[in-house]
Structure 1
Amino acid sequence: MRHAARTYGDREFLRFPAHGSVTFAEADARSDRLAGALADKGVRPGDRVAIMMDNVPGWPLTWLGVLKAGAVAVPVNVRYRAADLEHVLRDSGAVATVTTAEHAPHVPGTVHLFDALTDGSSPTVHINPDDVANFQYTSGTTGFPKACMLTHDYWLRCARIVADQVGLRDDDVIMMAQAYSYMDPQWVTVLALVGGIPLVVLPRFSASGFWPAAREHGATLTYVLGTMPLLMHKQPPGPHDRDHRMRLVLCSGIQPDLHRTFEERWGCPWRELYGSTESGPDLVMPVEAADTVGTGAMGLAPPGKEVILDEDTGEILVRGVPMMKGYWNHPEATARAFAGGWYHTGDLGVRDVRGYIRHAGRIKDMVRRGGENISCAEVENVLAEHPAILSAALVPIPDDLFGELPKAFLQLRPGFPPTEETAASVVEHARERLARFKIPAYVEFVEEFSLTPSARIEKRHLLRPERDQRAAPAIQVDKETR
Structure 2
Amino acid sequence: MTANVAREQAGLAHSGTGPVVKPEQAGDDPAIPTLTELLAQRAQDSPNREFLRFGERSWSFAEIDDWTSRLAHRLIEVDVVRPGDRVAVMLPNVVHWPVVWLAALKAGAVAVPINCSYQRADLDFVLRDSGARVVFTDAERSGLVADVVAGEDELADVRVVDIADDGSGAFPDTAPSVPINAGSLANLQYTSGTTGYPKACVLTQDYWVRLGWICAAATGLGAEDVLLTAQPFSYMDPQWNTALALTLGAPLVVLPRFSASTFMADVRRHRATFVYVLGSMPTLLFKQPPAPDDRDNDLRMVFCSGIPVGLHAQLEERWGAPWREVYGMTESGIDLYSSFGDADAVGSGSLGHPVPTKQVRVVDPDGSEVADGESGELVVAGRPMMNGYWNRPEDTARVLRSGWLHTGDVVVRHPEHGIRLVGRIKDMVRRGGENVASVEVEAALERDDLVVSAAVVAEPDGILGEEVKAFVQLATGVPADRATAEEIVERAGKELARFKVPRYVEFVADFPRTPSERVNKPALKARAADDPGIIHDLAARRN
1:465: how far off? 9.2
1:279: how far off? 0.5
Q: Please give the per-residue CA displacement for 1:296-319, whole angstroms capped at 9, x wherever unaligned.
A: 222222222112222246211111
Q: Helix, strand or coil: the match of 1:206? A: coil
Which residue in 2 is equivalent to 1:179? 232
1:359–1:97 Cα change, 3 Å: same
Alignment of 1:197-216 (within 5 A): 197-216=250-269
Which residue in 2 is equivalent to 1:118? 167
Q: Helix, strand or coil: the match of 2:132? A: coil
Which residue in 1 is equivalent to 2:51? 13
Match among 119, 123, 129 for residue 91 of structure 1: 129
Match among 65, 80, 92 for residue 54 of structure 1: 92
Q: Please give the per-residue CA displacement for 1:39-96, whole angstroms capped at 9, x wherever unaligned.
A: 2123222122221111110111111011111111111111222333333223222223
**Separation in 1 of the partners of 2:351 and 2:529?**
40
Residue 252 of structure 1 pairs with residue 305 of structure 2:
yes
Q: Which moved more, 1:355-364 or 1:216-225?
A: 355-364
1:285: how far off? 1.8
Q: Which moved more, 1:413-422 or 1:25-34?
A: 413-422
Q: Helix, strand or coil: the match of 1:281? A: coil
1:441: how far off? 3.0
Which residue in 1 is equivalent to 2:483? 421
**Separation in 1 of the partners of 2:454 and 2:274?**
28
Match among 429, 437, 459 for residue 367 of structure 1: 429
Which residue in 1 is equivalent to 2:465? 403
**Separation in 1 of the partners of 2:181 and 2:476?**
53
Letter in 2 for 1:199: L
Letter in 1 for 2:521: K
Letter in 2 for 1:243: D
Which residue in 2 is equivalent to 1:320? 382
Alignment of 1:336-347 (within 5 A): 336-347=398-409
1:472: how far off? 4.7
Residue 134 of structure 1 pairs with residue 196 of structure 2:
no
1:479: how far off? 5.1
Letter in 2 for 1:324: M
Q: Which moved more, 1:262-271 or 1:436-445?
A: 436-445
1:25: how far off? 0.5
Residue 284 of structure 1 pairs with residue 321 of structure 2:
no
Match among 96, 101, 120 for residue 63 of structure 1: 101
Q: Which moved more, 1:201-210 or 1:395-404?
A: 395-404
Which residue in 1 is equivalent to 2:113? 75
Alignment of 1:322-471 (within 5 A): 322-354=384-416, 356-464=418-526, 467=529
Which residue in 2 is equivalent to 1:22? 59
Q: Please give the per-residue CA displacement for 1:328-356, whole angstroms capped at 9, x wherever unaligned.
A: 12111111112243111111222223262
Q: Which moved more, 1:3-12 or 1:136-145?
A: 136-145
Residue 308 of structure 1 pairs with residue 345 of structure 2:
no
1:393: how far off? 1.0
The unaligned stretches of length 5 or more in structure 2 are 1-38, 150-157, 364-368
Q: Helix, strand or coil: the match of 1:188? A: helix
Q: Which moved more, 1:120-129 or 1:371-380?
A: 120-129
Q: Please give the per-residue CA displacement for 1:253-285, whole angstroms capped at 9, x wherever unaligned.
A: 212222111111111111111111101111122
Q: Please give the per-residue CA displacement for 1:20-39, whole angstroms capped at 9, x wherever unaligned.
A: 00110010111112222222
**2:79 and 2:134 in contact (8 A); partners too:** no
1:466: how far off? 9.9
1:308–1:426 Cα change, 3 Å: same
Letter in 1 for 2:70: R
Runs in 1 of length 4+ with deviation above 6 angstroms? Answer: none
Q: Which moved more, 1:204-213 or 1:145-154?
A: 204-213
Which residue in 2 is equivalent to 1:477? 538
Which residue in 2 is equivalent to 1:148? 201
**2:51 and 2:60 in contact (8 A); partners too:** yes
Match among 48, 55, 69 for residue 32 of structure 1: 69
Which residue in 1 is equivalent to 2:29? none
**Separation in 1 of the partners of 2:477 and 2:488?**
15
1:178–1:475 Cα change, 3 Å: same
Q: Helix, strand or coil: the match of 2:354? A: coil
1:127: how far off? 1.6
Which residue in 2 is equivalent to 1:229? 282
Which residue in 2 is equivalent to 1:293? 346
Match among 67, 76, 81 for residue 43 of structure 1: 81
1:415–1:86 Cα change, 3 Å: farther
1:431: how far off? 3.0
1:468: how far off? 7.8
**Separation in 1 of the partners of 2:502 and 2:134?**
45
Letter in 2 for 1:407: K
Give the number of aligned pairs: 480
1:138: how far off? 1.4
**Separation in 2 of the partners of 1:401 and 1:135?**
45
**1:140 and 1:458 in contact (8 A); partners too:** no
**1:305 and 1:318 in contact (8 A); partners too:** yes
**Separation in 1 of the partners of 2:517 and 2:192?**
10
**1:140 and 1:146 in contact (8 A); partners too:** yes
Letter in 1 for 2:219: V
Which residue in 2 is equivalent to 1:269? 322
Q: Helix, strand or coil: the match of 1:102? A: helix
1:314–1:257 Cα change, 3 Å: same
**2:107 and 2:178 in contact (8 A); partners too:** yes
**2:507 and 2:533 in contact (8 A); partners too:** no
1:244–1:316 Cα change, 3 Å: same
1:438: how far off? 1.8
**2:304 and 2:323 in contact (8 A); partners too:** yes
Identity of aligned pairs, percent? 52
Residue 168 of structure 1 pairs with residue 221 of structure 2:
yes
1:327–1:268 Cα change, 3 Å: same
**1:142 and 1:459 in contact (8 A); partners too:** no
**Separation in 2 of the partners of 1:359 and 1:256?**
11
**1:38 and 1:117 in contact (8 A); partners too:** no
- Over the aligned positions, Cα root-mean-square deviation in angstroms equals 2.1
**Separation in 1 of the partners of 2:456 and 2:144?**
32
**Separation in 2 of the partners of 1:143 and 1:430?**
33
Q: Please give the per-residue CA displacement for 1:132-190, whole angstroms capped at 9, x wherever unaligned.
A: 21111112233332111110000000000000111122211111111111111101101
**1:51 and 1:76 in contact (8 A); partners too:** yes
**Separation in 2 of the partners of 1:99 and 1:322?**
29
Q: Under a length normalisation based on structure 1, what TM-score does the superposition of the two structures give? A: 0.94
1:115: how far off? 2.4
Q: Under a length normalisation based on structure 2, what TM-score does the superposition of the two structures give? A: 0.84
